[in-house]
Amino acid sequence: MRDDFRTMSEKRRRVFVAGASGLMGVRLVPMFLEAGYAVAGLTRTPEKAERIAALGAEPIVADALDADALRQATRAFAPDLVMQHLTDLPDNLDELSARLPAHARLLREGTRNLVAAAGDARVLAQSIAWEAGGETDRAYAELEATVLGAGGTVVRFGQFYGPGTYYESEPPDEPRIHIDAAARRAFEAIGSEGVVIATE
């Protein structure tokens, strides 16, 4: 069994956050930094790299769908833990349906590439605790199978609400969780194994 990440010596605590400029990433990066971890944040665009650097993490620009580039970037940082919070979702809820195929592809291929790039590092990935329907559900099922098959951890979150989410002013139906609470639960799950449920 791999070491409990929370008990590692400080020099070994290195976290690679995929999706570091997203809703979860911008909340998780400061938590790890405050706790004394070395943090690298993955993004696809140089513009978002500046946001990651402003948080205090090492920005890494690479596309999770480019397996070779992702492997080189991940191995260069040599993480002990890889956090998979990749999404390809629009800011506007009205545009969601059109983006779901790209999101499903990222969940499938991006996760496979990230797990392969992680090497001996532990992997913790974001999933959902509700039925989204169709291709999205199948993509999350494949994500979970990939991560759990590699000995990683899956956190199934309720629907996010709060600042920056699709539900800023009114919570959605259950299962749900405030985005700030979700980030805290993800941080707390780094020493967990298997499937973790994160809902209110």
What percent of the chain has a predicted confidence (pLDDT) above 90? 94
Q: Residue 154 has what pLDDT?
A: 98
| Sign of the alpha-carbon torsion through 92, 156, 81, 28 | positive
Which residues lie closer than 8 Å to 166 by C-beta, 6 or more apart? 93, 96, 160, 172
Residue 173 has pLDDT above 50, yes or no: yes
Pairing of strands 153-157, 194-198: parallel
| Sign of the alpha-carbon torsion through 159, 163, 164, 170 | positive
Q: What is the DSSP letter of 108?
A: I
Q: Residue 1 has what pLDDT?
A: 36
Of 35, 8, 7, 13, residue with least CA distance to 184 = 35
- pLDDT tens track for 91-130: 999 999 999 999 999 999 999 999 999 999 999 999 999 9
| Amino acid occupying residue 130 | W
- pLDDT tens track for 7-37: 554 455 999 999 999 999 999 999 999 999 9
Q: Residue 4 has what pLDDT?
A: 57
Q: Which fold has domain 9-198?
A: Rossmann fold (3.40.50)
